Amino acid sequence: MDVRPGRDEALSRLFEGHYADMVRLGFYLTGSWAVGEDLAQEAFVRLWRRWGGLRDHHAAVGYLRTTVVNLSRSALRRSWP
């Protein structure tokens, strides 16, 4: 019997295992811990919304990384003079 965790349980595990890495990535890209935290949180919210549409839930970490990178680009563009 194949027992798969529900969305919330799977996302909770991902959050526990990868949130700090996503914050760190956001910090490295923007130079701000606060912005890094915001980007990581937004990436997890977007993943939560898209969870049902993901073909491969094992690719979720890659989705998070890509989302943090893209959000950091947007954040940097907004702050550029």
Running DSSP on this structure, what letter comes out for residue 4? -
Per CATH, domain 7-79 is 1.10.1740: yes
State the pLDDT confidence band at 71, using cuts at 50, 70 and 90: very high
For residues 46-75, give the mean pLDDT. 91
Dist CA 3 CA 1 (whole Å): 6
User: For the whole model, what pTM was predicted?
Assistant: 0.84
Q: Which two tokens stand for residue 66?
A: 């890509």
What is the arithmetic mean of pLDDT over 57-77?
A: 91
CB-neighbour burial class of residue 44 (10 A; exposed 0-12, middle 13-18, buried 19+): buried
Q: Which residue has the higher pLDDT, 72 or 57?
A: 72
- Measured between alpha carbons, how far is 13 from 28 in angstroms, rounded to an integer? 24
**Domain coordinates of the chain in residue numbers?**
7-79
- Reduce the DSSP state of residue 32 to 3 states and report it: coil
The per-residue pLDDT for range 6-42, each reduced to its tens digit, is: 788 888 999 999 999 999 999 999 999 999 999 999 9
